[in-house]
């Protein structure tokens, strides 16, 4: 029978992207980027978000494609309605290719869904984020703010995730993936999932102690204590990452995180008393069906 630490390492591996998933993401994102380049004057484009930071969990959804518009496109998007207009133009371009039923406008991006495949190892959706350069960073449309635009720099997000992972003995990204799996198993009580990463930059303090159950017990406890705080965007440019969670949502998340902390403690006690199988089943209840029992 697996020890708890062996099970967590296998769980971490189960959440990593397979070569087939990476190939699917590569093929589809190239197609979308080519379409955007045909439809607009694009100065640069690159993958970003949790896929790029290697903190994405299965099933592979919402892969972010950052499309930086050339300055020649700016005159079209200078009025008060510009954020909605640029998102609408991107939506039209994508809908012409993939069908309006598979394309949805979001707060800061346009999502393309691929619902025709039952193969879990194929990428199911992409978020296309239109952007303009602004000084040494970017601005993107944000219909959830009064200003209409949010400043950001995903390259800083990438660098901070890498630094945290290196400081945590290479286990930070795996811990974040596993925490996101817990969040998905709990109907995404923390939104957006990027908030888990942002909190983990402070909550997961190096060095890694070598024991996943104890690390997660402390992680959940501290997150429960602090989920009610405002969590700034890591690049220090945009609104707080936690701005989509109101007081009710934060209270619900605190309850779920507190319960997770207690379940981790109970599972640790089960292992101490020789009931390792029961401990693994409790971990599966907590993290989802990809957590291994053998």
Average pLDDT over residues 211-223: 98
> What pLDDT score does 1 carry?
82
Average pLDDT value for residue range 31-50: 90
Is pLDDT of 116 > 90? no
The pLDDT confidence band at residue 35, using thresholds 50, 70 and 90, is: very high
Secondary structure of the chain in HEC code, one letter for each residue: CCCHHHHHHHHHHHHCCCHHHHHHHHHHHHHHHHHHHHHCCEEEEEEEHHHHHCCCCCCCCCEEEEEEECHHHHHHHCCCCHHHHHHHHHHHHHHHHHCHHHEEECCCCEEEECCCCCCCCCCCEEEEEEEEEECCEEEEECCCCCCCEEEECHHHHHHHHHHHHHHCCCCHHHHHHHHHHHHHHCCCCCCCCHHHHHHHHHHCCCCCCCCHHHHHHHHHHHHHHHCCCCCCCCCCCCCCHHHHCCHHHHHHHHHHHHHHHHHHHHHHHHHHCCCHHHHHHHHHHHHCCCCCCC
pTM of the model: 0.86
pLDDT at 263 over 60: yes
**pLDDT beyond 90 at 122:** no
CATH dotted code for 19-152: 3.30.460.90
In the chain, pLDDT over 90 holds for what percent of residues? 74
Question: Domain-by-domain residue ranges, the chain?
Answer: 4-15+156-287, 19-152
- Render pLDDT for 55-106 as a digit per residue (tens, 0 to 9): 766 666 778 899 999 999 988 886 667 899 999 999 999 999 999 999 999 9
Mean pLDDT of the chain: 90
Q: Is the pLDDT of residue 40 over 80?
A: yes
User: Residue 76's pLDDT is what?
Assistant: 83
Q: Each residue of 140-198: pLDDT tens digit?
A: 999 988 889 999 998 898 899 999 999 999 999 999 999 999 999 999 999 999 999 99
């Amino acid at each position: 029978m697996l020890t708890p630490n062996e099970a967590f390492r296998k769980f971490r591996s189960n959440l990593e992207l397979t070569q087939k998933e990476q190939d699917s993401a590569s093929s589809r994102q190239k197609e979308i980027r080519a379409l955007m380049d045909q439809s607009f004057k694009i100065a640069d484009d690159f993958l970003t978000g949790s896929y790029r930071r290697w903190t994405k969990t299965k099933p592979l959804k919402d892969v972010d494609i950052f499309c930086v518009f050339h300055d020649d496109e700016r005159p079209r998007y200078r009025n008060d309605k510009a954020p909605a207009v640029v998102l609408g133009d991107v939506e039209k371009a994508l809908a012409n290719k993939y069908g309006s039923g598979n394309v949805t406008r979001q707060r800061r991006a346009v999502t393309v869904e691929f619902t025709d495949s039952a193969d879990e190892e194929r990428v199911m959706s992409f978020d296309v984020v239109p952007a303009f350069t602004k000084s040494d960073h970017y601005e993107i449309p944000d219909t959830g703010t009064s200003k209409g635009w949010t400043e950001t720099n995903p390259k800083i997000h990438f660098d901070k995730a890498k630094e945290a992972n290196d400081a945590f003995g290479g286990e930070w990204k795996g811990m974040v993936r596993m925490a996101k799996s817990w969040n998905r198993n709990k109907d995404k009580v923390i939104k957006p999932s990027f908030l888990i990463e942002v909190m983990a930059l402070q909550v997961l303090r190096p060095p890694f102690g070598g024991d996943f159950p104890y690390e997660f017990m402390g992680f959940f406890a501290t997150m429960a204590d602090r989920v009610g705080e405002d969590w700034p965007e890591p690049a220090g440019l945009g609104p707080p990452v936690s701005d989509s969670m109101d007081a009710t949502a934060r209270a619900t998340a605190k309850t779920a995180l507190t319960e997770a902390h207690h379940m981790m403690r109970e599972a640790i006690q089960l292992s101490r008393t020789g009931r390792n199988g029961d401990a693994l089943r409790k971990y599966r209840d907590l993290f989802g069906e990809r957590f291994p029992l053998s």
